């Protein structure tokens, strides 16, 4: 009798456990599906910007910053839950240049992509910090990341983005920009500042 009672109790527990387990799996799938949908939505925005807005000679700082934020959101999929990612925007709402077509498109992509390329995205000890700012007509982006100790796979066109950025800046903003890249210990920093005052399409 006791053995039968135990058997019935086990069946009862299993009948509760299996739906609970199934629900947990569904929740997990739903979470990943939402992340995928969210990422695809951001990717659509990035592709629109690359295909259409980037064909213009100039875009507004608002459009470029929105593009940068979408790009960061897509890259977040690769991160460990323990990875530290900090993104800040500092914009003066009354800055008349914020919505003016005065900034070269895709000017922020190299600094952001470089950080995600060289940081250890699966390490809880690593980080990427990004600050996008428009103040008194000066657009700036500061990106810092802890450099991974792991070797990075170098491709044939590695470094092409940085070289292209330097060339574009020199053509469009000669004498009106600074681009600094330097390393402090195991932290790599890149900062771009562009004086947009008086620059227009």
From first to last of the 201 residues of the chain, give the pLDDT tens digit.
Answer: 666 665 655 455 445 545 555 566 566 566 667 777 888 888 888 888 888 888 888 999 999 999 999 999 888 888 877 888 999 999 977 788 999 999 999 999 999 998 988 888 877 788 999 999 999 999 999 999 988 766 554 444 444 567 788 888 888 999 999 999 999 888 999 999 999 986 544
Cβ of 193: how many Cβ atoms within 10 Å? 17
pLDDT at residue 149, rounded to an integer: 66
Return the residue matching tokens 């469009």: 172
Helix axes 2-51, 61-75, angle to 10 degrees: 150
Q: How far from 134 is each of 14, 76, 112, CA to CA, in Å? A: 59, 24, 17
Q: How far from 65 is each of 54, 87, 129, 160, 183, CA to CA, in Å? A: 13, 11, 15, 22, 25
Give the 3-state secondary structure of residue 17.
Answer: helix
CA distance 127 to 111: 15
Q: Which domains does the chain have, with CATH numbers?
A: 52-195 (3.30.565.10)
pLDDT at residue 153, rounded to an integer: 46
pLDDT at residue 200, rounded to an integer: 47
Which has the closest alpha carbon to 120: 71, 73, 85, 161?
85
Q: How far from 39 is each of 26, 32, 46, 91, CA to CA, in Å? A: 20, 10, 10, 25
Q: How far from 9 is each of 12, 14, 18, 19, 42, CA to CA, in Å? A: 5, 9, 14, 16, 50
CA distance 63 to 161: 20
pLDDT at residue 82, rounded to an integer: 80
Digit-coded pLDDT (tens) for 97-135: 999 999 999 999 999 998 988 888 877 788 999 999 999
pLDDT at residue 1, rounded to an integer: 61
Digit-coded pLDDT (tens) for 17-26: 455 555 665 6
Q: How far from 121 is each of 36, 38, 110, 165, 179, CA to CA, in Å? A: 18, 20, 17, 24, 25
**pTM for the predicted model, two decimal places:** 0.78
């Amino acid at each position: 009798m006791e053995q039968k009672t135990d058997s019935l109790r086990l069946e009862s527990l299993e009948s509760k456990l299996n739906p609970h387990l199934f629900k947990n799996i569904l929740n997990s799938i739903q979470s990943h599906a939402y992340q995928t949908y969210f990422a695809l939505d951001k990717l659509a925005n990035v592709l629109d910007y690359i295909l259409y807005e980037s064909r213009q000679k100039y875009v507004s700082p608002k459009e470029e910053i929105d593009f940068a934020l979408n790009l960061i959101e897509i890259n977040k999929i690769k991160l460990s839950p323990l990875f530290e990612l900090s993104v800040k925007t500092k914009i003066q709402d009354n800055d008349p240049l914020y919505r003016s077509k005065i900034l070269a498109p895709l000017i922020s992509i190299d600094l952001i992509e470089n950080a995600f390329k060289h940081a250890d995205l699966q390490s809880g000890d690593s980080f990427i910090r990004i600050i996008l700012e428009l103040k008194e007509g000066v657009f700036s982006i500061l990106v810092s990341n802890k450099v991974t100790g792991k070797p990075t796979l170098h491709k044939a066109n590695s470094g092409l983005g940085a070289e292209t950025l330097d060339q574009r800046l020199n053509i469009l903003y000669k004498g009106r920009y600074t681009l600094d890249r330097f390393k402090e210990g195991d932290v790599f920093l890149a900062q771009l500042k562009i004086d947009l005052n008086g620059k227009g399409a």
